[in-house]
Amino acid sequence: QVQLVESGGGLVQAGGSLRLSCAASGLTFSNYGMGWFRQAPGKEREFVAAISLSGGITSYADSAKGRFTISRDNAKNTVSLQMNSLKPEDTAVYYCAAGRYSTAVLVDRYQYWGQGTQVTVSS
C-alpha cells in the first residue's frame, strides 16, 4: 500500500519560511517523479514544483520560482519543499504526489497523493 505523508505545514507571517516534507512508503521511490501541488479554498489544485527520479531536474510554477526549492533524498524516501519569502497568496493545502512521469506539471500525471498539509501565511 502506497503512502505519502506530508508534514511541516503551519502558520507563518509574510516573509517567513517553511519546509515541507513528504515521506513515501510502499513504492520504489527512486522510480517515481515527485511533485508538490497546492489547493486554496474555492480554487483548483495547482502545480508548485516537481523533481525528476534522480533529483537532477526540477521544474517550478512561475509563482514558486526564486522562492521555493524542491529536493529529494532517495535513500530516505523523502521529498521536501523549502519555501522562503512566503506571501499570503501562498496560503493553501499543500500535497505531495508521485507519478511515473518526470517533472510533470499536470495533476493527472500523478498516481499517488498524500493527504495534504495546511500552510497559512498571515499578512
> pLDDT at residue 38 above 90?
yes
- List pLDDT tens digits, range 41-94: 999 999 999 999 999 999 999 999 999 999 999 999 999 999 999 999 999 999
Which of the four pLDDT bands, split at 50, 70 and 90, describes residue 102? confident
Q: What's the whole-number mean pLDDT along residues 19-39?
A: 97
Residues 50, 19: Cα–Cα separation, whole Å: 15
**Alpha carbon of residue 53 to chain centroid:** 15
- List pLDDT tens digits, range 107-119: 999 999 999 999 9
